[in-house]
């Protein structure tokens, strides 16, 4: 009886562990089925690389929205990754214990704030700063609602993710490697640069991939500050229209337009597949890093 109970418990826990993966699969399948109407109209390349967006005329080109998402996400990564890595280096290698312990709750607080709070902060402070200070500084006229404003807000939002992962990677580097480097006469910075950063390079890449996934799918904060103009951005001061904002702004409206809901489901499917790819990539990299340090 005890062995029977053990087998039942093992199978029950295995089934429960498979539920998250099954849910992801069901979501992908559901989005694909809802997107079939728009996929049957023309080739996939025509949807992904067309800039024509006129639902009333049956034109559903996602290129402007994809480029808006890419512009905002890459801007956020360029701004966030260097700051996050340097912050993790300081907390891991240089900061006193009390500073490290005080910084962790602050980072957790940033991670837990609702995205709408970041959006309001962006509208009140970031948008005027971009429109009134940065744009004139570069000789550009801008309302402030732009790719750069969205990138700044997103950068702050993904700080906690990248810092947490990078800090864990640096912490997993064996202390003996640091001690060996210091015993050979290397300075603290030389040890950090040649030992910690080199050993944690793959982990930093994984942190960047997770930050990319977090930024790529963000909706509310970006929607509030990026301008929502369905055109391909030409500079950081141009407005954009990312895919998540497209779905949030339009789903539930104009559903009487043929294939409109299918087009939005197609946008959601593209968004989910990209985010899923980078999450799986980051996880595989982190697993490799963990195995190297065992």
Q: How far apart are CA 30 and CA 249, in angstroms?
A: 21
Q: What is the CATH number of the domain that holds 88?
A: 1.10.3720.10
Q: What is the mean pLDDT of residues 265-271?
A: 85
Split at pLDDT 50, 70, 90, the class of 255 is low
Helix (H) or strand (E) holding 140: none
pLDDT score of 254: 59
Domain count for the chain, please give it: 1
**Residue 252: is its pLDDT beyond 70?**
no
Count other Cβ atoms within 10 Å, centred on residue 230.
18
CA gap 260, 79 in Å, rounded: 35
CB atoms within 10 A of CB 22: 10
Q: What is the DSSP letter of 226?
A: S
* pLDDT value, residue 177: 84
Q: How many CA atoms lie within 13 A of 272 on its CB side?
A: 17
Check whether 129 has a pLDDT greater than 80.
yes
Highest-pLDDT range among 20-24, 33-37, 54-58, 154-158: 154-158
Domain that holds residue 7: 3-292
pLDDT, tens only, 207-221: 888 888 878 877 778
Rounded to an integer, the average pLDDT of 161-181 is 86
Which positions ≥6 away from 240 have C-beta within 8 Å? 67, 68, 69, 71, 72, 146, 147, 150, 226, 227, 228, 229, 233
**pLDDT tens-digit map of 66-92:** 888 889 988 998 999 999 999 989 988
């Amino acid at each position: 009886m005890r062995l029977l109970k053990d087998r039942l418990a093992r199978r029950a826990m295995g089934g429960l562990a498979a539920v998250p993966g099954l849910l992801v699969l069901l979501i992908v399948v559901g989005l694909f089925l809802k997107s079939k109407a728009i996929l049957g109209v023309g080739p996939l390349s025509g949807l992904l690389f067309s800039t024509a967006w006129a639902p009333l005329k049956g034109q559903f080109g996602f290129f402007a929205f994809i480029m808006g998402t890419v512009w905002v996400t890459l801007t956020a990564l360029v701004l966030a990754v260097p700051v996050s890595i340097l912050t993790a280096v300081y907390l891991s290698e240089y900061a006193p214990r009390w500073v490290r312990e005080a910084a962790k709750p602050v980072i957790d607080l940033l991670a837990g704030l609702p995205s709408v709070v970041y959006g309001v902060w962006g509208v009140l402070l970031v948008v005027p700063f971009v429109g009134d200070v940065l744009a004139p500084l570069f000789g550009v006229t801008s309302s402030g609602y732009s790719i750069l404003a969205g990138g700044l807000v997103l950068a702050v939002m993904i700080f906690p993710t990248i810092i947490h992962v990078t800090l864990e990677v640096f912490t997993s580097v064996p202390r003996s490697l640091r001690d060996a480097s210091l015993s050979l006469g290397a300075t603290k910075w030389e040890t950090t640069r040649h030992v910690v950063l080199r050993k944690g390079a793959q982990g930093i890449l994984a942190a960047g991939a997770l930050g990319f996934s977090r930024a790529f799918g963000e909706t509310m904060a970006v929607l509030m500050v990026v301008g929502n103009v369905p055109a391909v951005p030409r500079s950081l001061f141009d407005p954009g229209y990312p895919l998540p904002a497209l779905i949030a702004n339009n789903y539930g409206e104009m559903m009487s337009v043929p294939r409109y809901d299918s087009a939005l489901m197609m946008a959601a499917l593209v968004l989910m597949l990209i985010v899923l790819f980078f999450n799986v990539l980051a996880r595989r990299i982190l697993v490799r890093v963990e195995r190297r340090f065992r």
